[in-house]
Chains A and B, each alone.
Chain A
Amino acid sequence: MRLERIILKSFGCFDRRDFDLSDGVNLIFGPNFSGKSTLVNAIFFTLTGKPIAPKVPLSALTQSGARSGTAGLSFCHQGQSYQLFRATHGEVQLRQKENGRWRILFTGKRSVEADLRKMFHFSYHHLGAATFLREGEIFEFLARQPADRRDILYALLGIDQLMQVRQRFIDGRRIAKREEKRVQEHQRSLRVTTVKSHRDEIERVEAEVKKLEGEYELLSSQGGDGHDATLMAQLNQIHTRLQQQIDTLLQERSQVLSGFDDVGHLRAAIQEIESATAGAKELEGQREEIIRQIGSLTSQIQALTAECEVLRQLINSDHGHCPTCHQPVQQEIVAKIIAEKESTTAAHQQELETQQKSLDEYTTNVNALRELSQRHQRLQSKVKMLKRIEPQLADLQGEFNGVAERLRALQPTPDRITDEASDLAQIAERRHQIKHRIESLRRRLVVLSTEEAVIVHKLEELQRAQQQANQILRTRLSFELACDGVEKTIASLQRTILQPAEEELHYWLKRMNLFQFAQVDLKSQHLLPTLKVEGVERNLMLLSGSEKMILYLCFKAALSKTLGNPGFFVFDDPTLHLDPERKDTMISFIHQLAEVHQVIVTSNDPDMRDRLSDAHLIEMITL
């Protein structure tokens, strides 16, 4: 940032004035009460919205009699031109020059410090500590309490913000501790009322009940309490059912065996049929041969009859000639041929009749065989059915006999009753005892199960509470870690900033030939330089005025180098209390700063004006 012009309206002692600034050194020169410090104040107020001197009300910056005063700055930042105006009543306006015209970036009564900081990288503390030197500042700084200096340091490094974050973490840890305490109390209350689980006892009682039930069942099978009657009733039912099944099967068997005495008789009939039908195929073949012969004879007889008919027609024809060869027909020979053929036909006819009779016989026999074969198949199926029925019948009969035997055994006989009476009484007594014990154990099981459900619920609750406790412990430790982390970060940040600042301060002191062999420490006293010359600490308050001034300005240059400089320094009367030799040192210091930065200094010392003859002079006059 390079400051180009200070614009004042009803500000301080000025009604309306503009002051141009240039690169390098700018010397605001004038006698006391000419308004030099007002210009320094105007620059600081414009940038920060606060007077440079603490505890000064804004109304004090307004020109006497005016309702509000305004200070403004024209400046150049990163190649762009800006104008920033602030009124003492709080209004602020920032403009940016675009294409030769001013465009308002923001205006109104509002806090713009965060926006300015973001755009131009400066802050109130930053400017106050490292860029501006106001009148009397050095003595105030040296006289500050350590806590005040710590606050300034924290503000400069942004540690104040970290402290606020740390406070949030501390509050979070407090909430976590409170929550942790609550969960621990809950856990304690659960532990006091929780007793040992009944699971083992329940399992033992269940096993005993099961054992007793088995014993009870066994005793029940030995009689007593009308058990025999029940069993007999069940057996009678089974007996009846088996009887019905057996009857059904016997009826079915009887139907299958209809006409036969038994299965053996049936099988003998089958064997007879099988032996009778053994030559059935041969008989069928012979019958087929006879049919074939009958067909052949019938064809021959038809052919001979047809030939005889032709020959007769030939004899009886008028022409007496053969219609084919046209030769004369010899009738006697033809008649002889006809007689022979008729004789042959008669023989064939006789044989045909014989064969026809044989065929009838064969046909009758074949049909009989076919009927036998069908009967054979029917008998075979009956055998199959009997094969199925017989084992079923045997099984049912066996079962039936068993049931009948048991029924007979259960029939109460006078002898049996007499023999077993005493045993049954004992069994009944034992059964009664077991039943009573089982009922007692079952009641105990109900109680135990209920209590166990409560215990399980409490154990689950205890488990949940333990999980909550673990969770809250992690949360509390996380907050502790967060707090410790902030403290470590603050320490690290101070090291990061102050160590280079110490080195830079040492560098400047060497350049200024002041305490060049001293050790400089900015950490131990919270930013206040601590000097150790040859191992002995030098009290800053006991330094000469010029030593204090140069040390303090070197300190500002060092801080500025470390924290970053907006681009300029503003020193209000830095040569106050300096002897001529120290003035040379100060002028050299200002020139060295001006090699990189714009430097604005005020002075009422004509010697300074002469020594800074190359500086841009802003001469003030007494108003």
Chain B
Amino acid sequence: MPSTLENELVEIYEREVENLAESESKYHSILGGAEISAVVQAFRFALEHGVDKVTVQMLYDMIDEKSGE
């Protein structure tokens, strides 16, 4: 992956997730800022530490912990 894109990837992802959360009612009727933040945080965590080293349970715990705060 080009390094410039790698740096911007999380920003692109965050933008896309926020757009989705705003445009789709199933998301914006249930999810709030805490959940969106948790999703982006999990994505960043997976990229930073490498997908091979990040387990599903880690991501699940990250998102579930923040959900509903």
- Which A residues form the contact surface with B (CB < 8 A)? 121, 123, 126, 157-158, 161-162, 164-165, 168-169, 171-172, 175-176, 470-475, 477-482, 484-486, 488-489, 492-493, 496-497, 563-564
Select which of B4, B5, B42, B64 is within 8 A of A482 by beta carbon: B42
A interface, over-half SS: helix
Known: A482-B39, A489-B9. A474 touches B20 (CB 8 A): no
Question: B60: nearest residue on chain A (CB-CB)?
Answer: A172
Contact B63 A158 (CB under 8 A): no
Measured between beta carbons, the chain B residues less than 8 angstroms from A168 are 46, 51, 54-56, 59
Measured between beta carbons, the chain B residues less than 8 angstroms from A472 are 64
Question: A123: nearest residue on chain B (CB-CB)?
Answer: B1
What are 14 contact pairs spanning A and B, CB under 8 A? A123-B1, A158-B6, A168-B55, A474-B31, A478-B39, A480-B27, A482-B43, A482-B63, A484-B17, A485-B20, A485-B43, A489-B9, A489-B13, A564-B4
Contact A496 B2 (CB under 8 A): no
B interface, over-half SS: helix
Q: For the complex, what is the distance from the CA of A190 to the CA of B67, rounded to whole Å?
A: 25
* Residues in B1-29 with C-beta less than 8 Å from chain A: 1-6, 9, 12-13, 16-17, 19-21, 26-27
Contact B68 A470 (CB under 8 A): yes
Contact B35 A478 (CB under 8 A): yes
Contact A564 B67 (CB under 8 A): no
B residues contacting the other copy or chain, number (CB 8 A):
38
Select which of A158, A171, A474 is within 8 A of B30 by beta carbon: A474
Measured between beta carbons, the chain B residues less than 8 angstroms from A484 are 17, 20
B25 to chain A, nearest CB (A): 11
Question: B31: nearest residue on chain A (CB-CB)?
Answer: A477
Known: A482-B17, A484-B20. A477 touches B35 (CB 8 A): yes
Contact A496 B5 (CB under 8 A): yes
Question: B34: nearest residue on chain A (CB-CB)?
Answer: A474
A424 to chain B, nearest CB (A): 69
* A-B contacts besides A164-B52, A478-B38, A478-B39, 5 pairs, CB < 8 Å: A471-B67, A475-B64, A477-B26, A489-B12, A489-B13
Q: For the complex, what is the distance from the CA of A305 to the CA of B9, rounded to whole Å?
A: 141
Contact B13 A485 (CB under 8 A): yes
Measured between beta carbons, the chain A residues less than 8 angstroms from B6 are 158
Question: B14: nearest residue on chain A (CB-CB)?
Answer: A485
